[in-house]
Amino acid sequence: MSQVVVPPAPPKSKRGRRTLVRDVIEVLLLAAAIYLVIAFALQTVRVEGTSMVPTLQDGDLLFANKISYHFHGPERGDIVVLIPPESPSRDFIKRVIGTPGDIIKIDGRYVDPKTPSAAPRTAVLIKVGGKGDWQVLNEPYLPDQKKDPWTEMSNCCDSSGRATAVPTELTIPKDEYFVMGDNRNFSSDSRAIGLIPKNNIIGKAWIRIWPLSHFGFLGSGPTLSAAGSVVLALPLPLGKKLVRRRRRFRRAA
């Protein structure tokens, strides 16, 4: 019986070994680069407490973008992770309401002049950039105001951004922000801790990753609308009435 002779495998060349080593190094470098980018640009944040209900729930896990504010400042409506000035060992999560240059006040008994018969409510009033007329902040993310109306710390703001006894105007200084939790009756925010310096804002919370049943972006922000003004229907001057009557008489004649 004849035997099949299997020739020995050729030894690996030095060139082949160098290619394998290079591929491994490239994969490791790519993994390290991805890790550094994620570590620099993103931060995982776990929500503790109920100050952002109903937008965020206790135990929610979020991704916060840490890089975007290196290129521009926080914007109204952003949900941000911040370090409270008086508690540097803790992180808070709040919503930006007032930005530098805005004039802001909170009125606990605001009545829209366009609907004077409506019941008073708490409203945030803003002059954007410190110019123009007052505008009302419309906040669809707040709890149901019929069932759980905003009644705590419902007037603002003193020179530091804290709550006041009566509605008081505040011009927000450069590089400082006025923030509040969405659950206004149960939130320690600028009304209690004052304005937040830009350097204390770590990043923008932009997506919820847990629980999976609520995975996704964090909803729409606020809008602004004219605060309204009363327009009186004044009678025409007597002279104009007489002129119109004379014209009617002439046409009739």
Q: What is the pLDDT of residues 110-156, one digit of tens each?
A: 999 888 999 999 999 999 999 999 999 999 999 999 999 999 999 99
Q: What's the confidence (pLDDT) of residue 29?
A: 83
For the cut 50, the answer to whether the pLDDT of residue 250 exceeds it is no
* Candidate list 2, 94, 187, 190, residue with the active-site label: 94
* CATH at 58: 2.10.109.10
**Looking at residues 176-195, what average pLDDT do you find?**
98
H/E run at residue 171: strand 170-171
Q: What's the confidence (pLDDT) of residue 81?
A: 97
Residue 244 lies in a domain: no
Residue 29 lies in a domain: no
Residue 31 lies in a domain: no
What tokens appear for 216 in the block?
Answer: 């996704």
Q: Say whether 230 sits in a helix, a strand or coil.
A: coil
Residue 109 lies in a domain: yes
Q: Say whether 80 sits in a helix, a strand or coil.
A: strand
- Nearest residue to 154 (alpha-carbon basis) of 208, 200, 117, 192: 192
Residue 88 lies in a domain: yes
Distance, CA of 59 to CA of 78 (rounded, Å): 20
Tens of pLDDT along 143-157? 999 999 999 999 999
* Candidate list 51, 154, 187, 190, residue with the active-site label: 51
Q: Taking a C-beta distance cutoff of 8 angstroms, is the pair 230, 83 a contact?
A: no
Q: What torsion do the CA atoms of 232, 238, 242, 243 make, to the nearest 10 degrees?
A: -70
For the cut 70, the answer to whether the pLDDT of residue 188 exceeds it is yes
Distance, CA of 115 to CA of 121 (rounded, Å): 12
For the cut 70, the answer to whether the pLDDT of residue 95 exceeds it is yes
What tokens appear for 136 in the block?
Answer: 């009302």
Distance, CA of 38 to CA of 47 (rounded, Å): 20
Distance, CA of 57 to CA of 21 (rounded, Å): 48
- Nearest residue to 173 (alpha-carbon basis) of 160, 189, 163: 160
- Nearest residue to 79 (alpha-carbon basis) of 156, 171, 177: 177
Tens of pLDDT along 46-80? 999 999 999 999 999 999 999 999 999 999 999 99
Q: Taking a C-beta distance cutoff of 8 angstroms, is the pair 150, 184 a contact?
A: yes
Residue 14 lies in a domain: no
Type of residue found at 95: R
Q: What's the confidence (pLDDT) of residue 8?
A: 62
- Structural domain for 124, as ranges: 39-226
Q: What's the confidence (pLDDT) of residue 20?
A: 79
Task: Note if 94 is an active site residue.
Answer: yes
Residue 1 lies in a domain: no
Least confident interval from 26-35, 72-81, 215-224: 26-35
In this structure, the chain runs to a length of 253
Residue 237 lies in a domain: no
Q: What's the confidence (pLDDT) of residue 13?
A: 60
Task: Note if 51 is an active site residue.
Answer: yes
Work out the percent of the chain whose per-residue pLDDT is above 70: 81
What tokens appear for 141 in the block?
Answer: 């993310």
Number of domains in the chain: 1
**Looking at residues 89-97, what average pLDDT do you find?**
95
Q: From residue 55, give the alpha-carbon distance in Å to each of 4, 66, 149, 184, 208.
A: 75, 21, 16, 12, 11
Q: Taking a C-beta distance cutoff of 8 angstroms, is the pair 68, 88 a contact?
A: no
For the cut 80, the answer to whether the pLDDT of residue 252 exceeds it is no
